[in-house]
């Protein structure tokens, strides 16, 4: 029997996950999951469709079209007939309190297609045969739809209704277009013990964590609460500010916070580079809570991780973008709002492009072995005040210089796949497999995360938009997906000693708060297991034979791998490697080189491979000069350090200018 609820008291949540007590008609339920794929394709039907690629299964909020128009992965449901009898239908499989609908127009990469629905009606049914209209008093309700392709428009029903089926029935559409839409339906499942889809408890997490979306102030409070709960293993610090002055907070987790311990590797997670891709931010806030509480509970796995690793969590690299997306909310921020920095910069393309500098040098060199494959200095132009470099990017680059990171992951959203360097193709080809010298190890890292992720590992899952990454085991070379010059991953690899991958965490860039517990469960093991990979390969300390002091910036070369690394300030180093036998050569300016053979096992416990170097004698230096030779000089390190100083100097100038302008703006507003 179909009926409406006008005065039923219910507990609902808004788009930010805050619990609201009130009358159901005055608030709305969470999304049923067209965008997040909780709603399966077989729950969607339509009166007609223009083509297979424009079928009802494509009528999902924020779905993106494929690279080819008119293929099976187009960007909306489009009716095959233009009249007012067309509809898109959802079968909720159980009685559901429907409270609203969100609509978008058709997405297309190449075409200027102007297809959207301007007004529509809604009907409900319990058997898909008898339909009742959504009413507004004594009249059938007509809802306002879209006036552009991408802006989501929310319509809340005057009278929320309980039914199993809902239909969206377009009435008018853009005059030069056709009937096309992408949708999300808001609804609260009604308990029904007789339904095969009924369960006493919704799927979620057994961990008692703060599962909601946190704006800037709420994020600071949560981080402070974790620090208060675990003061002996946590420290909060900042690496800089956003364009509008919001601090970039980092949570450090270590048994010796605030200090680099000799031989202990440094690990980082970075989230929120794109401010509207918010799941990574919440996962890192959950992760710091989880590690703190499990450490206090005596969880040996967590205790070992904290004892052996210095962990850094940056939950929001682009807080300005996040605040813009948060203000709209999880379903209404669209696909791009908040992606860019306040200045409109895509930080995923904002790091120095060292790939092409290296490749150009290799092409011109007579002996490619003499071309540097690591610690490549950023170009001179990048260090000026005129360079279009976001303050957030500058802050992260400076952070990389201060801490000898070994392993990292950059958390994104909008897809379900793990990518590994290189992200940039040679010769500006749109997409092509472009491996690094460490391709096998990068593939291992990507596989570790993907195989432990509960959604990625599910062979029955639906693709997010248009690409089937399951055929690649949910991992792909970044450049083989799409070329990204100036990515943080490539910069980390070529400028520092850090191996970094990108994790696309969810089809939905901004999941509703109700989805956060299950998303934590989907990613918890992956997050922990990936951190443990920092202990693979070899590690050691390079010392002066006579003084026993550590030697900084020594070159560690693995025979057969065309990528070297450097020792840190205290002489310690970490070289990530797959199991095997390796010939290692170490060289530093003013010292004789040294060779050792080191064995790497299959367990995540790095093999100790220390080196002691002997200084080059004055007699040997005289012999080199007498024979017309040149004393080896490590000019690359000097240039790299000089460019870093210039970048920091220009950053200070820009920060002062920005602060002065912000003060002036405040005075004007008064």
Which residues have a Cβ under 8 Å from the Cβ of 325 and sit 6 or more positions away? 275, 276, 278, 333, 337, 338, 510
Question: Is 246 within 8 Å of 319 (Cβ atoms)?
Answer: yes
State the CATH number of the domain containing residue 62: 2.60.120.260
- Per-residue pLDDT tens digits for 423-441: 999 988 999 999 999 999 9
What angle (nearest 5°) sits at the alpha carbon of residue 356, between those of residues 280 and 484? Answer: 30
Rounded to an integer, the average pLDDT of 645-663 is 91
What is this structure's pTM? 0.92
Tokens of 653: 């100038």
Check pLDDT > 80 for residue 202.
no
Which of 109-118, 304-313, 612-621 has the highest average model confidence (pLDDT)?
304-313
pLDDT confidence of residue 629: 63
Same domain as 463, residue 433 = yes
Same domain as 549, residue 517 = no
State the CATH number of the domain containing residue 340: 3.40.630.10
pLDDT confidence of residue 25: 36
pLDDT confidence of residue 108: 86
- 422: preceding bond cis by omega (within 30 degrees): yes
365-378 b/e (C-beta count within 10 Å ≥ 16 → b): eeeeeebbbbbbbb
Rounded to an integer, the average pLDDT of 62-72 is 81
The answer as to whether 609 is a domain residue is yes
Same domain as 489, residue 377 = yes
- pLDDT: which is higher, 7 or 519: 519
Rounded to an integer, the average pLDDT of 140-162 is 94
**Rounded to an integer, what distance in angstroms lies between the CA atom of residue 5 and that of residue 24?**
8
Q: CB burial class (10 A; 0-12, 13-18, 19+) of residue 222? A: buried
Rounded to an integer, the average pLDDT of 156-174 is 95
Same domain as 231, residue 182 = no
**Rounded to an integer, what distance in angstroms lies between the CA atom of residue 88 and that of residue 83?**
13
Name the domain count of the chain: 3
Which of 24-28, 420-424, 634-638 has the highest average model confidence (pLDDT)?
420-424
**Rounded to an integer, what distance in angstroms lies between the CA atom of residue 474 and that of residue 496?**
27
Check pLDDT > 50 for residue 14.
no
Q: CB burial class (10 A; 0-12, 13-18, 19+) of residue 444? A: middle
Confidence of residue 627 (pLDDT cuts 50, 70, 90): low
pLDDT confidence of residue 365: 84
Domain boundary among 468, 500, 534: 534
Question: Is 357 within 8 Å of 496 (Cβ atoms)?
Answer: no
Tokens of 75: 């960007």
DSSP classification of residue 103:
E
Which residues have a Cβ under 8 Å from the Cβ of 341 and sit 6 or more positions away? 242, 243, 275, 318, 320, 321, 347, 390, 392
Confidence of residue 187 (pLDDT cuts 50, 70, 90): very high
**Terminal-to-terminal C-alpha distance of the chain:** 60
Check pLDDT > 50 for residue 5.
no
The answer as to whether 622 is a domain residue is no
Question: Is 172 within 8 Å of 119 (Cβ atoms)?
Answer: yes
The answer as to whether 418 is a domain residue is yes
State the CATH number of the domain containing residue 578: 2.60.40.1120
Same domain as 333, residue 243 = yes
Confidence of residue 70 (pLDDT cuts 50, 70, 90): low
Same domain as 559, residue 502 = no
Same domain as 224, residue 112 = no
Check pLDDT > 90 for residue 16.
no
Mean pLDDT taken over the chain: 91
Rounded to an integer, the average pLDDT of 151-157 is 96
The answer as to whether 659 is a domain residue is no
Q: Give the 3-state DSSP-derived string for 205-222, with helices as H, strands as E and coil as C.
A: CCCCCCCCCCCHHHHHHH
The answer as to whether 3 is a domain residue is no
Confidence of residue 193 (pLDDT cuts 50, 70, 90): low
Scan for tokens 């900042």, then name that residue.
238
- Per-residue pLDDT tens digits for 326-345: 999 988 999 999 999 999 99
The answer as to whether 378 is a domain residue is yes
Same domain as 245, residue 176 = no
Tokens of 217: 């102030």
Residue of 179, 141, 178, 180 whose CA lies nearest to 161: 141
**Rounded to an integer, what distance in angstroms lies between the CA atom of residue 54 and that of residue 179?**
11
Same domain as 596, residue 450 = no
Same domain as 501, residue 607 = no
Across the strands, what pairs with 237? 250
The answer as to whether 625 is a domain residue is no
Same domain as 480, residue 579 = no
pLDDT confidence of residue 660: 86
pLDDT confidence of residue 195: 60
* Of the listed ranges 7-16, 74-83, 396-405, the one predicted with least confidence: 7-16
Confidence of residue 661 (pLDDT cuts 50, 70, 90): confident
**Rounded to an integer, what distance in angstroms lies between the CA atom of residue 476 and that of residue 415?**
12
- Per-residue pLDDT tens digits for 487-528: 999 999 999 999 999 999 999 999 999 999 999 999 999 999
pLDDT confidence of residue 488: 97
Rounded to an integer, the average pLDDT of 543-550 is 95
The answer as to whether 510 is a domain residue is yes
Same domain as 554, residue 530 = no
- Per-residue pLDDT tens digits for 556-565: 999 999 999 9
Own/partner pairs, 383-388, CB within 8 angstroms, 24+ separation: 383/643, 383/646, 383/647, 383/650, 384/646, 384/650, 385/650, 385/653, 385/654, 387/650, 388/345, 388/350
Rounded to an integer, the average pLDDT of 294-308 is 97
- Per-residue pLDDT tens digits for 120-132: 999 999 999 999 9
Residues acting as catalytic residues: 504
Domain that holds residue 499: 216-534
Domain boundary among 534, 564, 587: 534
Domain boundary among 534, 562, 588: 534
Rounded to an integer, the average pLDDT of 234-245 is 97
Check pLDDT > 50 for residue 21.
no
């Amino acid at each position: 029997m179909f009926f409406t609820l006008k005065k039923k008291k219910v507990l609902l949540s808004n788009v930010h996950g805050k619990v609201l007590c009130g009358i159901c008609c005055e608030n709305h339920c969470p999304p049923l999951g067209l965008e997040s794929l909780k709603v399966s394709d077989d729950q969607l039907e339509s009166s007609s469709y223009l083509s297979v690629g424009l079928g009802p299964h494509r009528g999902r909020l924020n779905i993106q079209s494929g690279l080819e128009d008119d293929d099976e992965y187009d960007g909306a449901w489009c009716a095959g007939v233009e009249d007012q009898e067309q509809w898109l239908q959802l079968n909720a499989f159980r009685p559901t309190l429907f409270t609203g609908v969100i609509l978008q127009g058709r997405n297309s990469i190449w075409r200027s297609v102007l297809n959207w629905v301007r007004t529509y009606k809604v009907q409900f049914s319990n058997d898909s045969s008898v339909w009742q209209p959504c009413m507004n008093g004594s009249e059938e309700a007509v809802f306002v739809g879209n006036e552009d392709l991408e802006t989501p428009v929310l319509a809340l029903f005057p009278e929320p209704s309980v039914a199993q089926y809902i239909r969206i029935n377009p009435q008018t559409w853009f005059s030069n277009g056709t009937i096309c839409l992408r949708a999300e339906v808001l609804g609260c499942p009604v308990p029904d013990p007789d339904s095969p889809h009924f369960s006493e408890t919704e799927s979620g997490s057994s961990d008692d964590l703060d599962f909601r979306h946190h704006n800037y102030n709420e994020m600071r409070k949560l981080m402070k609460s974790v620090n208060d709960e675990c003061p002996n293993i946590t420290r909060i610090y900042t690496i800089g500010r956003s364009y509008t002055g919001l601090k970039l907070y980092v949570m450090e987790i270590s048994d010796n916070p605030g200090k680099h311990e000799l031989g202990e590797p440094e690990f980082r997670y970075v989230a929120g580079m794109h401010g509207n891709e918010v799941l990574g931010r919440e996962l890192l806030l959950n992760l710091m809570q989880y590690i703190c509480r499990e450490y206090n509970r005596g969880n040996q796995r967590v205790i070992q991780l904290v004892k052996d690793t210095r962990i850094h969590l940056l939950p929001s690299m682009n807080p300005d973008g996040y605040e813009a997306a948060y203000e709209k909310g999880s379903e209404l921020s669209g696909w791009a709002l908040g992606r860019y920095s306040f200045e409109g910069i895509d930080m995923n393309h904002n790091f120095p492009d060292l790939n092409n500098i290296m490749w150009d040098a290799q092409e011109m060199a007579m002996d490619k072995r003499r071309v540097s494959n690591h610690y490549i200095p950023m170009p001179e132009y990048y260090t000026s005040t005129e360079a279009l470099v976001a303050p957030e990017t500058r802050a992260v680059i400076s952070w990389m210089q201060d801490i000898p990171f070994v392993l990292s992951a950059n958390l994104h959203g909008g897809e379900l796949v793990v990518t590994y360097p290189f992200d940039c193709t040679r010769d500006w080809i749109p997409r092509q497999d472009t491996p690094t010298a460490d391709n096998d190890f990068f593939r291992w890292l990507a596989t570790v995360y993907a195989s432990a992720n509960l959604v990625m590992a599910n062979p029955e899952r639906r693709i997010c938009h248009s690409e089937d990454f399951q055929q690649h085991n949910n991992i792909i070379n970044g450049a083989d997906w799409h070329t990204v010059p100036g990515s943080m991953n490539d910069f980390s690899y070529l400028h520092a000693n850090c191996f970094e991958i990108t994790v696309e965490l969810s089809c939905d860039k901004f999941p509703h708060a109700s989805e956060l517990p299950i998303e934590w469960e989907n990613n918890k093991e992956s997050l922990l297991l990936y951190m443990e990979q920092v202990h693979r390969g070899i590690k050691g300390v390079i010392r002066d034979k006579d003084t026993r002091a550590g030697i900084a910036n020594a070159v560690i070369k693995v025979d057969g791998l065309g990528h070297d690394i450097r020792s840190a300030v205290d002489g310690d180093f970490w070289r990530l490697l797959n199991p095997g036998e390796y010939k290692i050569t170490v060289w530093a300016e003013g010292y004789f080189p040294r060779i050792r053979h080191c064995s790497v096992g299959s367990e995540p416990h790095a093999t100790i491979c220390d080196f002691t170097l002997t200084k080059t004698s004055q007699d040997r230096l005289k012999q080199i000069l007498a024979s017309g030779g040149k004393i080896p000089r490590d000019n690359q390190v000097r240039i790299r350090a000089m460019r870093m100083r210039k970048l920091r100097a220009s950053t200070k100038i820009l920060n002062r200018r920005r602060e002065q302008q912000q003060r002036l703006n405040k005075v004007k507003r008064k």
